[in-house]
Amino acid sequence: MKELLILGAGTAGTIMANRMRRRLDPVQWRIRVVDEHPTHFYQPGFLFLPFGIYEPEDIIRPKRRFMPSGVEYVEARAERIEPENNRVVLGDGRTLPYDVLIVATGTHPVPGQVEGMLGDDWGRRVFEFYTFDGARRLTEHLRQWRGGRLVVHVSEMPIKCPVAPLEFVFLADWWLQTQGLRDRTELVYVTPLSGAFTKPVASRVLGDLLERKRIQVVTDFAVARVDNERHRLVAWDDREVPYDLLVTVPPNFGAEVIERSGLGDEMNFVPTDRHTLQARGHDNIFVLGDATDLPTSKAGSVAHFEAEVLTENLLAFTRHQPLPARFDGHANCFVETGFHKAILLDFNYNLEPVPGRFPLPHLGPLRLLGESRLNHWGKMAFLWMYWHLLLPGRPIPFVRHQMSLAGKQIPAGALKPEMAG
């Protein structure tokens, strides 16, 4: 019997387990999924906990529930991948052989990578919302907030869901107004980038929005340390940003098993072919989701689109055929802007987010790179789609893995030529 082994039962790994179980012959192929944590979090929901939009029970499910019958779920820590032996060694010493390995081990915040971030202020004045516990602690802290200087900060790129810190500051502006605290709160957004976002057209739109919402922006800020005594962020160029409450996005690293296996780059992301999703230098290892080093967003939508490409490529690989499918870097992100509105971004390797309609040209009903209430309700509806369509690997209506140019207003020069693998 042949073995398909999947490391990680997050968004990417769960989708692949479901899709491949439907496509691979159960007599010939065993599918096993390894993950050490029992709980699946709807991670986009972490952002909403501090503002009371979601409660914990909305965003928590057991991981096992999303494993279809015919998939063996192994709750264990992956200690080491041994590509030369085609096997994975688990924390308890067991070894699992594979014919094909899918690495879907994700990324996580590592606050210890910034000097002083885990100092006395951590959990008192310094918080993060990229983990369930972090988001809950921040929720409790915000309930005590009576005003002051609230700083939202991105340590360095890349980070998971690069729009989330912007959404946080937009939602904070809205929430503080509903609490009657906005006039007593100075809101500051601190970023290592030269503008609000990584891509120029969207950066201008989002930058205007920050200005209209009276949110101060500090750009090109490369954080050197957190000064806990003076409650300040200090940059390498000696600029300082004081805070009463710091909501930071710590540096994001890939899984430690990648580092232990010598398969990653300097941040433990796996060098991956941009189009086929094959690990560079390892024919029978494929990578998807946040674990890759691909130059696109680390986001659930990306994992979802990659999963469609990877399904075709894996099936071809098992038949010793050339890999037919090409991933185009497609990402689709809702940006909550507060007051029941949101902006939708749709982009790929070659085209940055531009204005337009989605998913249907002219009809929409969603608006690209513009605020609308319907976008917000689209985002809210997505929670249901996530549990019921996305994780089980079922198609999302009208949305294809290849980004569509139809319905987009593309400024001159915005569409870049095809990039090499």
Partner 1 sequence: MPETTIAGHTVTVDEEGYLTNPSQWNPDIARALARDLGLELTDAHWKVLEFMRRDFQERGTVPGMRRLNKVGGFATKDLYTLFPDGPIKKAARIAGLPKPTSCV
412 is a contact residue toward partner 1 (CB under 8 A): no
Which range in 91-99, 191-199, 358-366, 390-398 contacts partner 1 by CB under 8 A? 191-199
Which range in 116-124, 154-162, 178-186, 381-389 contacts partner 1 by CB under 8 A? 154-162
**Which of 81/163 has CB closer to partner 1?**
163
CB of 148 to partner 1, least distance (A): 30
Q: Which of 60, 222, 363, 406 binds partner 1 (CB under 8 A)?
A: 222
179: tokens are 């609490």
CA–CA separation, 315 vs 16, rounded Å?
12
Q: How far apart are the first and last CA of the chain?
A: 33
Which residues are 234's β-sheet partners? 225, 240
Reported as type and span, the H/E element at residue 151 is: strand 148-154
CA–CA separation, 292 vs 299, rounded Å?
11
**Which of 185/191 has CB closer to partner 1?**
191
Spell out the residues 6+ positions from residue 64 whose beta carbon is closer than 8 angstroms to its own: 38, 73
CB of 228 to partner 1, least distance (A): 20
Q: Which of 86, 177, 198, 228 binds partner 1 (CB under 8 A)?
A: 198
384 is a contact residue toward partner 1 (CB under 8 A): no
**Which of 110/385 has CB closer to partner 1?**
110
Q: Which of 236, 283, 321, 365 binds partner 1 (CB under 8 A)?
A: 236
Q: Which of 53, 118, 217, 267 binds partner 1 (CB under 8 A)?
A: 267
Which range in 2-10, 22-30, 103-111, 292-300 contacts partner 1 by CB under 8 A? 292-300
Interface residues for partner 1 in 295-334 (CB under 8 A)?
A: 295-298
Which residues are 338's β-sheet partners? 341
- Which phi and psi (to 5°) does residue 232 adopt? -140, 145
Which residues are 372's β-sheet partners? 342
DSSP per residue, 337-393: EETTEEEEEEE-SSB---SEEEEETTTEEEEETSEEHHHHHHHHHHHHHIIIIITTT
**Which of 192/355 has CB closer to partner 1?**
192
Strand arrangement, sheet containing 216-218? 126-127, 245-249, 148-154, 185-190, 216-218
**Which of 24/258 has CB closer to partner 1?**
258
CB of 262 to partner 1, least distance (A): 13
CA–CA separation, 271 vs 92, rounded Å?
28
62 is a contact residue toward partner 1 (CB under 8 A): no
**Which of 242/271 has CB closer to partner 1?**
271
Interface residues for partner 1 in 156-175 (CB under 8 A)?
A: 156-158, 162
418 is a contact residue toward partner 1 (CB under 8 A): no
Q: Which of 120, 183, 220, 283 binds partner 1 (CB under 8 A)?
A: 220
Which residues are 154's β-sheet partners? 249
185 is a contact residue toward partner 1 (CB under 8 A): no
224 is a contact residue toward partner 1 (CB under 8 A): yes
DSSP per residue, 46-99: GGGGGGTSS-GGGSEEEGGGGSPTTEEEEES-EEEEEGGGTEEEETTS-EEE-S
CA–CA separation, 401 vs 389, rounded Å?
15
DSSP per residue, 182-195: GGGEEEEEE-SSSS
- Number of residues near partner 1 (by CB under 8 A): 21
Residues near partner 1 (CB under 8 A): 156-158, 162, 192-193, 198, 220, 222, 224, 236-237, 251, 265-267, 295-298, 420
